[in-house]
Amino acid sequence: MEDVPIRNMDDIKAIESIPLEERFTANSTYELISRGAAIDPDKVVLYFLMSGEAWDAPIEVTYRQFLGRITQAANLFVDLGVGPEKVVTYILPNLPQTHYSLWGAETAGIANPINPMLEPRQIRDIMNAAKTKVLVTLGEYPGTDIWAKVDSIRREIPTLEAVVQVMGASNEAEGIYGFEEVIEKYGADKVDGGRSIAPDEVCSMYHTGGTTGTPKLAMRTHMNEMFSAFGCSIGLAMHYGTTMMCGLPLFHANAPLLTGLAPFSEGASVVLLTPSGYRDAGVIKNFFKIAERYRVESFMVVPTVLSLLLDIPVEGLDLSRLRFALCGAAPLSVQVFQAFEKHSGLRLLEGYGLTEATVASSCNPRDGESKVGSVGVRWPYQEMKSVILDEKGDYARDCEVDEIGVIVMRGPNVFKGYVEEMHNKGAWVQGDWLNTGDMGRMDEDGYFWLTGRKKELIIRGGHNIDPAVIEEVLYRIDGVSLAAAVGRPDAHAGEVPVAYVMPKPGENLDLQAIEAYCREHITERAAIPKEISIVDPMPVTAVGKIFKPALRYDAIKRVLDTELARLADVAGSIEIKVKEDKVHGTIARISARPSPSTDAEDLCGQIEGILGRFTVHYEVDVEDVG
């Protein structure tokens, strides 16, 4: 992609002066990858690291081999009966075969990635919602339980006709095919079946929540994904010769596009950081060595990983090629932002996106001002704004500059809708604008600032948790009258779930029994509350709904109280008030008085050092007692 400057909204509009249809003319993700591969078929597209400790011994895959395997996978799926509107689900760690399966599935039909860490019941429900015809999954492999999960539920999916095992053996009597064993039977030069793909055809279904009841599956088109790749290529100045790192999971909406389709479309290279990605301790320990070895220019990351990388030395390494890190998925504290840029020497770009908008909607401009705490300006050829909705959720008016409202967007990035029509209620406002459910404001320079989440999702380490997963279990407990789950700031995971319960009149709740019940009955392990508190009365609105902001304020105050209690020897007093701010949204205001042996500046620094580890907006006021 051409390396045009992106400094501000004027540069965005200059890019848009060339019609989008003149920017690229591919009709499908397969065609886009084919064009990237044609630039230099013998260039390495994937450097796959089997472990973080073996970071200098990669498995190398060239574009010729890569496109050939995708084509063979597509032909395998066609042979197994996959065609337009038929679904191939994959449940895999980060492997080259994951890419072959994903793009082969989109070429033959529709891809449906599933998180391998979900429980069997959730996997079954997602596959049934998708009407999966073919499943690609890991065979029996030491250290993983993926096959055990799949084997326990595969007979409960009526539409499932074939299972393809990566690193597994064929058992065709059971409808099981070993990927490596059968793939060579298929041609690598062209896709069989003669399918002609239109850009507006659905190519993927990503699970976005709804672990209670019918899962929510977002339908995305070939145009959605190609457009997202194009936006990332422009936004990160990606071109032939660029190398990126991929450590985020390939079942999530981000990594397959921003560290997959985008570089693939440009003939660029990707370092695939082990099957476990950033969860591999060796990857974190050797991260900057890997960046130096492969001359990496950019990578995608979540805030929790940045915090870990602050402790990894960079001295003596040549990181001159390292230019950008794009960070999203959860709020990032100002202190971690500034500390990471200083530590690594690269430019950190905060961005924003969601599965329904094909993951890339705004970003701090790579050549312009980074406003720390904002998610930047919109990317080219898509629209974003904040609006006020009425009490029915209908559009009332656009927000003024710096006025908080619901962020909405439209453009080639916006998905086609959810599989189940009931999930589409409220998804659109003012006609074709996607209601993101996120609260935010736009400043006078066109930068967006997130101030809260109307959807109330809890984001733990970049993974979305629906509070209803927790609340429906709590409501099964005898003696519980009201229950609510919210996110509590966490120094490592960004936030973790906590829950509040109110007893029925005359009931005494046993917290230990409630915690044990949750551990047994909440099937999504990440959703098990880190703490459960009894509250009576439960805060409610005027119409009787639980007022979750009050619970979030309480959760924030509790964790900050605990953390700041460590300063008892140097602080005479510390008072914490959490409230809503019209500019920042939720904010913690800290008022402190130093002990006689401590000066105000030192106490302020220590407080900020603790608060900076959390994704909370804050203000500190330390009284100078002279």
**Full DSSP string of 436-486:** EEEEEEE-TTS-EEEEEETT--EEETTEEE-HHHHHHHHTTSTTEEEEEEE
Residue 397 confidence (pLDDT) above 60: yes
Percent of the chain at pLDDT exceeding 90: 64
The DSSP code for 571 is: E
Specify the CATH class of 383-442 in words.
mainly beta
Looking at residue 404, its pLDDT comes to: 86
What are the pLDDT digits (tens) for 543-589?
A: 556 888 899 999 999 999 999 998 888 888 899 998 877 666 688 88
Residue 165 confidence (pLDDT) above 60: yes
Distance separating alpha carbons of residues 342 and 335, to the nearest angstrom: 11
Q: Rounded mean pLDDT of 132-159?
A: 95
- The answer for residues whose C-beta is within 8 angstroms of residue 543's C-beta and 6 or more apart is none
- Which has more confidence, 495 or 317? 317
Looking at residue 311, its pLDDT comes to: 84
HSE (side-chain half, CA atoms, 13 Å) at 34 = 16
H or E, element range at 200? none
pTM of the model: 0.81
Q: Report the mean per-residue pLDDT for the chain.
A: 91
Q: Rounded mean pLDDT of 319-340?
A: 80
Enumerate the domain spans of the chain: 9-328+335-381, 383-442, 458-546, 552-622
Indicate the pLDDT class of residue 332, thresholds 50, 70 and 90.
low
- CATH number for 9-328+335-381 (one of 3.40.640.10, 3.40.50.12780, 3.40.50.300, 2.70.70.10): it is 3.40.50.12780
Looking at residue 486, its pLDDT comes to: 93
What are the pLDDT digits (tens) for 505-524?
A: 888 999 999 999 999 999 88
User: 458-546 has which fold?
Assistant: GMP Synthetase; Chain A, domain 3 (3.30.300)
Looking at residue 211, its pLDDT comes to: 46
Specify the CATH class of 552-622 in words.
alpha beta
Indicate the pLDDT class of residue 617, thresholds 50, 70 and 90.
confident
Percent of the chain at pLDDT exceeding 70: 95
Distance separating alpha carbons of residues 307 and 290, to the nearest angstrom: 18
Indicate the pLDDT class of residue 213, thresholds 50, 70 and 90.
low
Q: Is 491 exposed, middle or buried (0-12, 13-18, 19+ CB in 10 A)?
A: middle
Residue 232 confidence (pLDDT) above 70: yes
Distance separating alpha carbons of residues 63 and 519, to the nearest angstrom: 46
Q: Torsion-angle region of residue 481: left (phi > 0), alpha (psi -120 to 50) or beta?
A: alpha
SS3 46: strand
